[in-house]
Structure 1
């Protein structure tokens, strides 16, 4: 590394890759039922942090309401986002049902906690217009 270059701690390096991948994830409770309490959200964040660590990812931000949660995850390129999501939803559902069984049974039924769908959006880095402009301005050999 050049001594003039200040490394960005969010830009990670691997053996053959330099990456800076972030995803905004949103999970909604089944039937959009208001099943989450403040205590459950705190526990959910702990669970999801542990799952992310297992995938060598980092949960940068977490918050939610009674019927959904938002996550900002920094993950390596070797991780399939769909597998990370399945693990986040599966592990958290199982442990939240176990820890708060009586409360969850009042709001949800049928063995499900999260809706089967989710939102995933890529984020971070330059806006799309800037990236397009940068690519367009590359010097194409004649």
Structure 2
């Protein structure tokens, strides 16, 4: 998931805050966080999901709710994102396919490291 205008507003504190909201909102629906990491302008997330959940609706709901909360609780973000949206409208959702979970986990863990 990418921040609006690709603004580099994500730090460890905000990332942890967003992760906690993901867990609070989506774990009861059957989505479990496996790995979470961020760069300044996007989140990498590996999760497991029950097969009967509509992933696009769940992600869009999360983005809507978390956008409101993060802009409310981290008011300094408003100087970079002056409109209501925190997240870009788009996101990339991929299945793990033939790659092992460990390979994907290592990729996500390496994000943000230079």
State the superposition RMSD in angstroms. 1.3
For residue 108 of structure 1, what is the aligned residue in structure 2?
A: 81
CA distance in 2, matches of 1:83, 1:109: 25
**Larger-Rg structure:** 1
For residue 45 of structure 2, what is the aligned residue in structure 1?
A: 71
Structure 2 alignment gaps of length 5 or more = 100-114
Between Structure 1 and Structure 2, the one with more helix by share is 2
CA distance in 2, matches of 1:43, 1:63: 12
CA distance in 2, matches of 1:63, 1:117: 18
Residues 1:117 and 2:112 are matched in the alignment: no
- Report the alpha carbon displacement of residue 54 of structure 1 after superposing the two structures with TM: 2.6
For residue 85 of structure 1, what is the aligned residue in structure 2?
A: 59
Moved over 6 A (4+): none
For residue 60 of structure 1, what is the aligned residue in structure 2?
A: 34
CA distance in 2, matches of 1:53, 1:76: 10
For residue 9 of structure 1, what is the aligned residue in structure 2?
A: none
For residue 33 of structure 1, what is the aligned residue in structure 2?
A: 7
TM-score scaled to structure 2, two decimals? 0.80
CA distance in 2, matches of 1:44, 1:85: 13
- Report the alpha carbon displacement of residue 79 of structure 1 after superposing the two structures with TM: 0.2
Structure 1 alignment gaps of length 5 or more = 1-26, 128-142
